[in-house]
A and B are shown apart, each in its own frame.
Chain A
Amino acid sequence: MSTQIKQTLVMTRVNFSTLPRRVAISLSMVLSIALVVAVLAGFLAMANGFEKALSSAGSPLVAVVLGGGTNQETGSDIPADAIRSIQSLNGDIGVARDGSGNLLASRELVAPVEVVGTQGLSSATLAFRGMDVSGLAIRDGIKIAAGRLFAPGTREIVVGARLATDFPGFGIGDTVRLGTVDWKVVGHFAANGSAFESEIWGDVDAVRAAFNRQGQVQSLRLRLIEPSSIAVLRASLATVTPTPLVAVSEADLYAAQSGRTANLIRLFGWPLALLMAIGATAGALNTMMSSVSDRTIEIATVRALGFGRLSACLATWFEAVALAVAGAILGVIASWLIFNGWQASTVGANEASMGFRLSVDRDVMLTAGLLGLAIGVIGGALPAIAATRLPLMVALRARG
């Protein structure tokens, strides 16, 4: 072992064994780093959970046809004759067909509805989606968890499992007033925790009638034979109708939306966390400066014996990094305990409320933890240099 390493080990031992003399200030450094880490982890977990909810909603095997020059469901409108032309298309257009040769398709529209939340105070705008019964089969991963599907042409609805737990009055058998009419809840569906679980689904014609949107179709969902079939579909669409229609895969549709909102969350979270990190770095600097002055006699003594500057420098820096690691671990654990799985909701697709669970996963922990570590690395650097500049004469004067 080189003498340099041996010196550093001794100095590090001095650092850690004198730590009890600096409990309060060291603890404040650990806690402030933990706080920064937890805050950043919270925001990242939110963005992460949001992305997960939306990305699992979209399937690459579902094509969403939109009209009216938009690439979102909101504002999209597909004329009735265009629907008819598409449905009468023969041959391979990339879309799966049922036993009798009909396209697996669902005409859909979304009506925003106001619903009062559990507390009686917070009300939320939810998406009430009218669809053909086939809409369920077209989508991947949808299961009727309780009850049954709505019957075509009736004022029956099924609601997402998450929605049913978040809002009162959506139990099976309950009657809910949405728009101008009453609806009967006949089932709950699960959708792998995706954004769909925050939606209400009913028969397309019943929804159109209740919201005075007769004849309207916002999107036509089609079951693709395979993900790449969307190209065939696009080519076919161009020939059938003069109306410009776009076909996007449902996966892309939701990914684009989740990307925007998740980035917004991150855009808000990062500067806040960084600002707090600057404060925590100043705190770390202060803590480590007091650590250096606390160890003045020990450092000056061994330096007088011939120890090099590097050992005092590295040991100080190690202490800073060790405290930062402790803070980062504490912050990650706290954020996991507090945030992971926490139910949140936001305005998602279709300007409607969307529930999702915060997800503190490995990437979130790593990113937030590294920020905490950086605070120690940066905050400890200056004190580490200061430790090399101590006047050695104090060793002879000081009462040990």
Chain B
Amino acid sequence: MTQEPFITLAGVRKGYRTGSDAIPIFTALDLAIPRGDFVAIMGPSGSGKSTLLNMLAGIDVPDAGSLKVGNYRLDQMGETARSSWRAHNMGIVFQFYNLLPMLNAAENVELPLLLKPLSAGERRSRVAKVLDLVGLSGREKQYPSMMSGGQQQRVGIARAIVSDPKLLLCDEPTGDLDRKSADEVLEILALLNRTLEKTIVMVTHDPQAARSAKRTLHLDKGLFVEEKRAA
């Protein structure tokens, strides 16, 4: 049975304008990611990895071409529609965690649930469940400033999966972590992919991080230049 890919990019063009200069990043990018995949995207700085991830997250839009995630044509949706799509269909993990400093761990994780019609009790039990999943139960009341980078990133992952999206997008999730913390985070991501069947797209500079993924795509000068399958 051939299944339609979960994510499909076809002929995507994207560039930025700075003043009068147009900087093209992608001219015709094609990509297909099946459901349940765990893809690492590598490439030199400025090759467009974050730009691609932003488009997959519905934060940015292609200038031309089609971008489909699940049943949604993100390239055809307006900002408000993409905003609500983000709330229900993907989780995002940032390099610098992006936790709100004034909220404690549980409150940070709860943020995406505020976008759903859930009772306070339901929200609390879901938050407890994902914090347990990332190994942080008991730290609900801690504020980001009292946590290590690795712990903060695990809170970030808990926040990304708390509303149970199919798609998880990570932009250099281990970029700011030491080896040990990075390995813990990667282990969690691999676990989420294996047991909860999350489709994960992870941008990384770290070859060791890429090894956690099922396959690695190399981006250079706006094109995927090689693909490596994990052994």
Q: Which residues of A contact B (CB under 8 A)?
A: 3, 6-7, 10, 13-14, 17-18, 297-298, 301-309, 392-393, 395-400
List residues of chain B with CB within 8 A of the CB of A18: 102
Top-7 shortest CB links A-B: A306-B87, A17-B102, A306-B86, A6-B114, A301-B98, A392-B59, A399-B96
Across the interface, do B114 and A10 meet the contact criterion of CB distance under 8 Å? yes
| CA gap between A373 and B95 in the complex, in Å | 41
Across the interface, do B114 and A395 meet the contact criterion of CB distance under 8 Å? no
Across the interface, do A400 and B99 meet the contact criterion of CB distance under 8 Å? yes
| CA gap between A397 and B46 in the complex, in Å | 12
Across the interface, do B96 and A400 meet the contact criterion of CB distance under 8 Å? yes
Across the interface, do A3 and B102 meet the contact criterion of CB distance under 8 Å? no
| CA gap between A392 and B60 in the complex, in Å | 8
List residues of chain B with CB within 8 A of the CB of A297: 98
Output the nearest chain B residue to A301 by Cβ-Cβ distance: B98
Across the interface, do B57 and A7 meet the contact criterion of CB distance under 8 Å? no
List residues of chain A with CB within 8 A of the CB of B86: 304-306
List residues of chain A with CB within 8 A of the CB of B102: 13-14, 17-18
| CA gap between A395 and B83 in the complex, in Å | 14
| CA gap between A7 and B53 in the complex, in Å | 25
B29-57: contact bitstring with A at CB < 8 Å (1 yes, 0 no)? 00000000000000000000010011001
Expressed in whole angstroms, the minimum distance between the Cβ of B160 and any Cβ of chain A is 9
Across the interface, do A309 and B111 meet the contact criterion of CB distance under 8 Å? no
| CA gap between A304 and B112 in the complex, in Å | 10
Across the interface, do B99 and A3 meet the contact criterion of CB distance under 8 Å? no
List residues of chain B with CB within 8 A of the CB of A3: 114-117
- Count the A-B residue pairs with Cβ separation under 8 angstroms: how many? 82
List residues of chain A with CB within 8 A of the CB of B101: 400
> Within residues 64 to 118 of chain B, which ones have a CB less than 8 A from any CB in chain A?
79-80, 83-88, 92, 94-103, 111-112, 114-117
| CA gap between A10 and B103 in the complex, in Å | 9
| CA gap between A309 and B85 in the complex, in Å | 14
List residues of chain B with CB within 8 A of the CB of A309: 79-80, 83
Across the interface, do B88 and A396 meet the contact criterion of CB distance under 8 Å? no
Given A10-B103, A18-B102, A308-B80, 16 further pairs, Cβ under 8 A: A301-B98, A302-B100, A304-B59, A305-B111, A305-B112, A306-B112, A307-B83, A309-B80, A309-B83, A393-B50, A395-B59, A396-B54, A396-B94, A396-B95, A396-B171, A398-B98
Across the interface, do A306 and B98 meet the contact criterion of CB distance under 8 Å? no
- Of the A-B pairs whose beta carbons lie under 8 Å apart in the complex, a sample of 28, sorted by A's number, is A3-B116, A6-B115, A18-B102, A298-B100, A301-B94, A302-B100, A303-B83, A304-B92, A305-B86, A305-B92, A305-B112, A306-B83, A306-B84, A306-B87, A306-B112, A306-B115, A307-B83, A307-B87, A307-B111, A308-B80, A308-B83, A309-B79, A393-B50, A396-B54, A396-B59, A396-B95, A398-B96, A400-B96
Across the interface, do B98 and A395 meet the contact criterion of CB distance under 8 Å? yes
Output the nearest chain A residue to B16 by Cβ-Cβ distance: A393
| CA gap between A18 and B112 in the complex, in Å | 21
| CA gap between A10 and B109 in the complex, in Å | 13
| CA gap between A305 and B168 in the complex, in Å | 12
Would you call B166 an interface residue if the criterion is a C-beta within 8 Å of the partner chain's C-beta atoms? no
Would you call B159 an interface residue if the criterion is a C-beta within 8 Å of the partner chain's C-beta atoms? yes
Expressed in whole angstroms, the minimum distance between the Cβ of B72 and any Cβ of chain A is 13
List residues of chain B with CB within 8 A of the CB of A303: 83
Expressed in whole angstroms, the minimum distance between the Cβ of A19 and any Cβ of chain B is 10
| CA gap between A393 and B99 in the complex, in Å | 16
List residues of chain B with CB within 8 A of the CB of A395: 59, 94, 98
| CA gap between A395 and B229 in the complex, in Å | 31
| CA gap between A14 and B103 in the complex, in Å | 9
Expressed in whole angstroms, the minimum distance between the Cβ of A15 and any Cβ of chain B is 10
| CA gap between A320 and B116 in the complex, in Å | 28
| CA gap between A14 and B59 in the complex, in Å | 21
Across the interface, do A396 and B83 meet the contact criterion of CB distance under 8 Å? no
Output the nearest chain A residue to B144 by Cβ-Cβ distance: A400
| CA gap between A298 and B92 in the complex, in Å | 14
B185-201: contact bitstring with A at CB < 8 Å (1 yes, 0 no)? 00000000000000000
List residues of chain A with CB within 8 A of the CB of B103: 10, 13
| CA gap between A397 and B171 in the complex, in Å | 9
Across the interface, do A302 and B111 meet the contact criterion of CB distance under 8 Å? yes
Expressed in whole angstroms, the minimum distance between the Cβ of A306 and any Cβ of chain B is 3
B153-190: contact bitstring with A at CB < 8 Å (1 yes, 0 no)? 00000010000000000010000000000000000000
The winner among A10, A13, A301, A306 for most chain B CB atoms within 10 A is A306
List residues of chain B with CB within 8 A of the CB of A306: 83-88, 112, 115
List residues of chain A with CB within 8 A of the CB of B159: 305
| CA gap between A275 and B114 in the complex, in Å | 43
B10-42: contact bitstring with A at CB < 8 Å (1 yes, 0 no)? 000000000000000000000000000000000
Across the interface, do A304 and B114 meet the contact criterion of CB distance under 8 Å? no
Output the nearest chain B residue to A398 by Cβ-Cβ distance: B96
Across the interface, do B60 and A393 meet the contact criterion of CB distance under 8 Å? yes
Output the nearest chain B residue to A392 by Cβ-Cβ distance: B59
> Which single member of A393, A397, A400 contacts B97 (CB below 8 Å)?
A400
Output the nearest chain A residue to B90 by Cβ-Cβ distance: A306
Output the nearest chain A residue to B120 by Cβ-Cβ distance: A1
| CA gap between A256 and B111 in the complex, in Å | 64
Output the nearest chain A residue to B163 by Cβ-Cβ distance: A306
List residues of chain A with CB within 8 A of the CB of B54: 392-393, 396
| CA gap between A400 and B99 in the complex, in Å | 7
The winner among A10, A303, A304 for most chain B CB atoms within 10 A is A304
| CA gap between A397 and B203 in the complex, in Å | 13
The winner among A6, A13, A17 for most chain B CB atoms within 10 A is A6
